[in-house]
A = this chain, B = another copy of it.
Amino acid sequence: MPRKKEYDKALVTEKAMEQFWSKGYSDTSARMLEKSMGINPFSIYSSFGNKRGVLLESLKYYQSQVREQLLLPLSKAPKSIDSLQDFFVNFLNFTKGKDCYKGCLLINTAHETATTPDARVNAIIENFSTEIKTAFYEILKSDQSKTNELVERQTSYLFVALQGILSAAKINNEQQIDNYINMTFLNI
């Protein structure tokens, strides 16, 4: 008996995600969300609760995109260091905007909300971290000559390196980042 929604929730969530990804959470206003999502305040608040709710759905959407476009290909690729390095390059391209690198939305959000922790945001980020580290671990441990301890240290190292690259790409030129990736994998 109810009236039907005139918008597709997945689609407006994607639009919101793009806003948060480009501008960050604090610097994205409710008015900007209305405009980029193309719907009225009422629709936003009845569908998402509040601004934080829009962020949460955006993060989930982002995570699903990372899984689909980056983690799935990695899981299908040969278990080699080259595949890992490709993953880094692919992730970097994934974060490429019109005229800048936007970083990883989840990492950006983690940094922005570090001083105002939110349990639901943290849960998503924690989940995401584990997924990526597990993928790294599976590949690194395929080299039987490595001890478990070494594999764990390399996993942790690469995970921090990935965060560093995605962040640094926002404010450094491509040559520096390219050089950094190559140097990073000399260690592995």
Residues of A within 8 A of B (CB): 22-24, 26-27, 100, 103, 107, 110-112, 114-116, 125, 153-154, 156-157, 159-161, 163-165, 167-168, 170-172, 175-177, 179-180, 183-184, 186-187
Contact = CB atoms under 8 A, between A and B. Distances in A.
B163 A179 contact: no
A103 B167 CA distance: 12
The 3 closest A-B CB pairs, nearest first, are A164-B164, A157-B183, A160-B180
Contacts of A100: 114-115
How many copies of the shown chain assemble into the complex?
Answer: 2
Main secondary structure of the interface of A (DSSP, over half): helix
Given A107-B171, A153-B179, A157-B183, A27 B163 contact: no
A176 B155 CA distance: 10
A171 B100 CA distance: 23
A176 B153 CA distance: 8
A30 to B, nearest CB: 15
